[in-house]
Amino acid sequence: MNDLLTPEAILPNLKAGSKKQVLQELAKKAADLTGQHERAIFDVLVERERLGTTGVGRGIGIPHGKLPGLTGVMAIFARLEKPVDFEAIDEQPVDLICLLLAPEGAGADHLKALARVSRALRDPVLCDKLRGAESGDALYALLAQTEQVNAA
């Protein structure tokens, strides 16, 4: 995920008590990284959640959306301090979240990124390692290594 994720885009111990708070914190971080308006990012994420939950099961959430003004697809990975109800399809609380944002016209690139993230986070061994990682650097290393393993 090296092309989607940077070390600055890792939130190793995100504090949030609800799905809405998680989305607000992710929007704030995305605004810092992209220069986009925090409220616009939050609104895109909430609108996507209205279509159906992005809580994909087994403690994983992949909120995503398209935003005018972005130059490429980007990700933010967060490990929550405490799992929150994300209205996931398996009704389990979520503690690992990968936010994906794409430019408005990035149809295929957005879907490819979503598929890559989904495939990586379906690996229970990786998820256990992510949950046990000591730091943001360790989280980043695990996620970056995943891409290399999948590419091999």
Looking at the domain 7-151, which fold is it? Mannitol-specific EII; Chain A (3.40.930)
Q: Give me the mean pLDDT over the 122-150 stretch.
A: 87
| CA count, 13 A, side-chain hemisphere, 64 | 26
97-109 confidence digits (pLDDT tens): 999 999 998 878 8
**Domain boundaries, given as residue ranges, for the chain:** 7-151
Q: What is the Cα–Cα distance from 116 to 30, expressed in whole angstroms?
A: 20
Distances (CA, A) of 145 to 3, 38, 44, 106, 120: 12, 30, 30, 25, 10
Is 64 one of the annotated active-site residues of the chain?
A: yes
pLDDT at 149: 45
Q: What is the Cα–Cα distance from 28 to 4, expressed in whole angstroms?
A: 18
pTM for the model stands at: 0.93
- The residue with greater pLDDT, 90 or 150, is 90
Q: Which two tokens stand for residue 93?
A: 């609380």
* Catalytic residue chosen out of the listed positions 64, 79, 110, 116: 64
